[in-house]
């Protein structure tokens, strides 16, 4: 079984990648450019799979808007075709829609490409964005102490993990065996923007004009200590020499004074030690960074992708930041990573060849200048 070495912890099992006949492909979720942090919720990608949900009622969300606009998913695909084949094209499918890219590669060359998939709303019916907003609305009303009416008016955002599955194909069509294919799959996330009304007005009172119908004010409620958490990995998609390390970093945003205890959790359930950070008031503090080291390829071939090929193993997984105290704080989104180990020879092969410089030509004589006489050749002395 493939294994990774985790700094400070025991070795952990990794998620395998499908490989066929010494060729393989790995697909991961792409990197999105994120917008600024909203008052309530998570950052949204500037261009990415974002559902927009609107309200017709002061205390709930009712329908998905902007259905004429496709949602754009970004994926990263990496892999190779075993010699004497070369990769001719790659494609990624999400919700029955494919994005494809034609490739021009050398035989056995590693490729790493970004492929976007533009999916119409009609293909994404398996995800109920309205329900996601209303479920989050109920949760936020409990966590923040705000009424549903106030939350619907302000609006909020959320990230829904593993909402769809992406499937990738790498086509190796230039070898002696036509139609050779390697495949892989990976869950992908979506974001939901529950758009606030902001213009809603309370229904007019039916009681006395002196305001006798007004409800008594709600008792004051303590503001939650943790406002939000952020967590990321420095090398989400790595291709190169091993052993190598990746580094996880994160931030905790607090609303008030207090102590926050946290840890990181991996895809296989393993956990880091518990750390603490003291806030003297509202602010942002970085967590202790966490490193993870991956072993170099096993010479026996047991760890290598493609059943014995010396082109290295692939490790795929994730970690997330979890708040231990105070209770009830939702963890961060998964910081996913994909590691492809390559030997040095293959790395050099994957680099484009440098064009040869043409030989220098002798300068042309200027008009009117006497031509240089060729020197007579002399025989070597006997």
Find which of 210-214, 290-294, 363-367 is predicted with most confidence, using mean pLDDT: 290-294
What whole-number distance in Å separates Cα of residue 314 and Cα of residue 321?
24
> What pLDDT score does 22 carry?
62
The residue with tokens 């031509």 is 371
> What pLDDT score does 16 carry?
40
> What pLDDT score does 54 carry?
95
Is the pLDDT higher at 263 or at 301?
263
Cα four-point dihedral sign 15, 20, 21, 22 = negative
For residue 278, what pLDDT band results from cuts at 50, 70 and 90? very high
> What pLDDT score does 377 carry?
45
pLDDT at 142 over 90: no
What whole-number distance in Å separates Cα of residue 19 and Cα of residue 25?
7
Helix, strand, or coil (residue 153): helix
**Structure tokens of 280?**
């003297």
Asked whether the beta carbons of 35 and 43 are under 8 A apart, the reply is: yes
Q: What is the pTM of this model?
A: 0.68
> What pLDDT score does 297 carry?
57
pLDDT at 127 over 60: yes
Query: Mean pLDDT, the chain, as a whole number?
Result: 77
Domains annotated on the chain, with CATH: 1-18+223-352 (2.60.40.10), 31-199 (2.60.40)
Asked whether the beta carbons of 76 and 52 are under 8 A apart, the reply is: no
Q: Using one digit for the tens of pLDDT, what is the confidence trace for 323-359? A: 999 888 888 888 988 888 876 544 444 444 445 566 6
> What pLDDT score does 284 carry?
92
CB atoms within 10 A of CB 323: 19
For residue 1, what pLDDT band results from cuts at 50, 70 and 90? very low
What whole-number distance in Å separates Cα of residue 56 and Cα of residue 61?
7
pLDDT at 202 over 60: no
Helix, strand, or coil (residue 277): strand
Strands 258-266 and 226-233: unpaired
For residue 269, what pLDDT band results from cuts at 50, 70 and 90? confident
Is the pLDDT higher at 301 or at 40?
40
Nearest to 334 by CA among 192, 167, 187, 119: 187
* Mean pLDDT (whole number) for 2-29: 49
For residue 298, what pLDDT band results from cuts at 50, 70 and 90? low
Helix, strand, or coil (residue 346): helix
Q: From its phi and psi, is residue 136 left (phi > 0), alpha (psi between -120 and 50) or beta?
A: alpha
* Mean pLDDT (whole number) for 182-211: 69
What whole-number distance in Å separates Cα of residue 121 and Cα of residue 61?
18
């Amino acid at each position: 079984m493939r294994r990774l070495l985790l700094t400070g912890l025991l070795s952990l099992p990794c998620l395998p990648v499908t490989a066929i006949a010494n060729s393989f492909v790995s697909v991961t979720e792409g990197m999105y450019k994120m917008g600024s942090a909203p008052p309530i919720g998570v950052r949204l990608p500037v261009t990415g799979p974002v559902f927009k949900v609107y309200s017709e009622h002061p205390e709930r969300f009712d329908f998905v808007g902007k259905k004429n606009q496709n949602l754009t998913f970004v994926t990263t695909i990496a892999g190779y075709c075993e010699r004497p084949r070369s990769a001719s094209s790659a494609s990624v499918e999400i919700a029955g829609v494919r994005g494809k890219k034609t490739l021009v590669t050398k035989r056995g060359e590693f490729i790493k490409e970004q492929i976007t998939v533009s999916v119409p709303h009609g293909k994404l019916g398996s995800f109920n964005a309205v329900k996601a907003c209303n479920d989050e609305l109920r949760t936020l009303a409990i966590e923040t102490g705000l009424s549903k009416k106030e939350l619907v008016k302000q609006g909020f955002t959320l990230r829904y993990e593993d909402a769809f599955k992406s499937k990738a194909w790498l086509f190796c069509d230039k070898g002696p065996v036509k139609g050779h294919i390697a495949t892989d799959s990976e869950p992908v996330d979506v974001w939901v923007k529950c758009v606030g009304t902001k213009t809603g007005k309370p229904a007019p009172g039916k009681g006395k004009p002196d305001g006798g119908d007004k409800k008594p004010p709600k008792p004051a409620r303590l503001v939650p200590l943790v406002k939000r958490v952020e967590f990321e990995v420095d090398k989400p998609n790595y291709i190169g020499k091993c052993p190598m390390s990746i580094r996880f970093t994160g931030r905790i945003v607090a609303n008030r004074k207090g102590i926050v205890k946290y840890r990181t959790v991996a895809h296989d359930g393993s956990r880091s030690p518990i750390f603490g950070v003291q806030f003297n008031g509202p602010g942002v503090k970085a967590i202790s960074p966490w490193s993870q080291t991956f072993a170099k390829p096993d010479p026996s071939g047991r760890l290598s992708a493609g059943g014995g090929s010396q082109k290295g193993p692939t490790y795929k997984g994730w970690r997330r930041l979890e708040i231990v105290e105070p209770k009830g704080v939702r963890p961060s989104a998964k910081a996913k990573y994909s590691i492809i180990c390559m030997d040095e020879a293959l790395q050099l092969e994957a680099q484009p060849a440098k064009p040869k410089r043409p030989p220098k030509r002798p300068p042309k004589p200027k008009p009117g200048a006497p031509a240089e006489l060729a020197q007579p050749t002399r025989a070597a002395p006997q």
